[in-house]
Amino acid sequence: MEGFRVTVTKSLLKGWLASLPAFLLYFYFSGGDRRGGVLPWLIALGFVMVANVLFVQGPKATVLSICTRNSRIKFAVVSAAYAVCAFTVMIGWAFFDQPYTYLTLIAFSVIIGGIAGLDFYTAHRKTHY
């Protein structure tokens, strides 16, 4: 049985990996510079890991309580909303004057948080019930 930290970290990494196809599609259709295409996505991994420590590992009891009391879909929605809040607190405020960029980054936060929430919910239920 894996511990909470390992399970959450794996779930967030899966969410981050799941955001790659969406990022590549966005990047391709937005006409971005093709040479540095994946670099912002790789940089996002650092922010995902910082958010993991600050916003998930810290309030462990709250995360487990929400997971235990809610359904899979509701937990995924809450996780996605929480990811948007964490993003906004960490770096989102820097993009408030660029609404299109801010909304695009929120979309990636929703993907990462939603997939991570679904994966964590499934892993948590398998090990605790």
- What pLDDT, in 10s, does the model give residues 49-74? 888 888 888 788 888 888 888 888 99
For 89, the domain range is: 4-128
HSE, side-chain direction, 13 A CA sphere, residue 109:
24
Number of domains present in the structure of the chain: 1
pLDDT at 29: 78
pLDDT at 1: 45
What is d(CA 52, CA 27) in angstroms, rounded to the nearest whole number?
25
DSSP letter (8 states) at residue 4: H
Which residue carries 């810290």 as its tokens? 58
Report residues of the chain scoring pLDDT below 50: 1, 129
What is d(CA 68, CA 77) in angstroms, rounded to the nearest whole number?
14
Quick one: CA dihedral 70, 51, 14, 81, positive or negative? positive
CB 113 within 8 A of CB 11: no
pLDDT at 32: 62
This prediction's pTM? 0.82
- List, in order, residues 6 or more apart from 5 with CB less than 8 Å away: 57
